[in-house]
Amino acid sequence: MATKKSTSVKTSKSYKENVGKGGETHQESRSAPVLKTPQGTPIADNQNSLRAGARGPGLLEDRQLREKLFHFDHERIPERVVHARGFGAHGYFEALDTLDGVTCADLFKRKGRKTPVFARFSTVAGNKGSADLARDVRGFAVKFYTQEGNWDLVGNNIPVFFIQDAMKFPDLIHAAKAEPDRGFPQAQTAHDNFWDFISLTPESMHMVMWIMSDRTIPRSLRFMEGFGVHTFRFINAAGKSTFVKFHWKPAQGMQSVTWDEALRINGADPDYHRRDMWNAIQSGDYPTWELGVQLFDDAFAEKFEFDVLDATKLIPEEQVPVKIVGRMVLNKAVDNFFAETEQVAFCTQNLVPGIDQSNDPLLQGRNFSYLDTQLKRLGSPNFTHIPINAPKCPVHNFMQDGHMAMHNRAGRANYEPNSWGGEQGGPREDSETGYVSYSEPMTGEKVRQRSETFSDHYSQANQFYRSQTEAEQAHIADALVFELSKVERSDIRERMVSHLLNIDRGLAKNVANKLGISNMPKPAPAARKPIMDLPVSDALSINKSSQPTLAGRTFGVFLSNGADNKLLKNLKRLLKKEGADYDLITPAIQGTTLSDGEVITGDETYEGGPSALYDVVVVIVSDEQRSLFTTTPAARHFIEDAYRHSKYIAYSSNLQETVEQLLNGRECDQAMFSLSKKADIERFLTSARALRYWDREDG
Ligand code: HDE
Complete DSSP assignment for 294-351 = EEE-HHHHHHSSS-TT-TT----TTTSPPEEEEEEEEEEE-S-HIIIIIT----TT--
Q: What's the pLDDT score for residue 546?
A: 87
CA 38-340-88 angle, to 5 degrees, is 155
Ligand 1 within 6 A of 139 CB? yes
Hey, whose CA ends up nearest to atom 44 of ligand 1? 370
Ligand 1 within 6 A of 550 CB? no
Hey, whose CA ends up nearest to atom 25 of ligand 1? 83
Q: Which atom of ligand 1 is nearest to the CA of 82?
A: 26
Ligand 1 within 6 A of 253 CB? no
Phi, psi of 591 (to 5 degrees): 85, 50
Ligand 1 within 6 A of 229 CB? yes
C-alpha distances (whole Å) from 311 to each of 230, 296, 300, 351, 371 are 6, 16, 17, 19, 21
CA distance 692 to 254: 13
Ligand 1 within 6 A of 245 CB? no
Element (H, E) at 140: strand 138-146
Kindly report the pTM of this predicted structure.
0.95
Q: What's the pLDDT score for residue 28?
A: 52
Ligand 1 within 6 A of 120 CB? yes
Q: What's the pLDDT score for residue 540?
A: 98
Ligand 1 within 6 A of 354 CB? no
User: If the chain, 699 residues long, is cut into consecutive pieces of 10 residues, what is the mean pLDDT of each piece?
Assistant: 36 44 50 94 97 97 97 97 98 95 96 98 98 98 98 98 98 98 97 98 98 98 98 97 98 97 98 98 98 98 98 98 98 98 98 98 97 97 97 97 95 96 95 95 95 98 98 98 98 98 98 97 97 98 94 98 98 98 96 96 97 98 96 97 97 96 91 97 98 88
Say how many Å lie between the CA of residue 163 and the centre of ligand 1. Answer: 13
Say how many Å lie between the CA of residue 467 and the centre of ligand 1. Answer: 28
CA distance 24 to 49: 15
Ligand 1 within 6 A of 327 CB? no
Say how many Å lie between the CA of residue 274 and the centre of ligand 1. Answer: 20
Among 618, 584, 586, smallest CA distance to 688 is for: 618
- Active-site residues, by number, are 83, 156
Say how many Å lie between the CA of residue 185 and the centre of ligand 1. Answer: 21
- Which distant-in-sequence residues (6+ apart) come within 8 Å of 512 by Cβ? 497, 500, 520
Say how many Å lie between the CA of residue 198 and the centre of ligand 1. Answer: 19
Q: What's the pLDDT score for residue 413?
A: 97
Q: What's the pLDDT score for residue 261?
A: 98
Phi, psi of 382 (to 5 degrees): -90, 25
* Gap between the terminal Cα atoms of the chain: 60
- Site to substitute for ligand 1 among 309, 366, 384, most atoms within 8 A of C-beta: 366
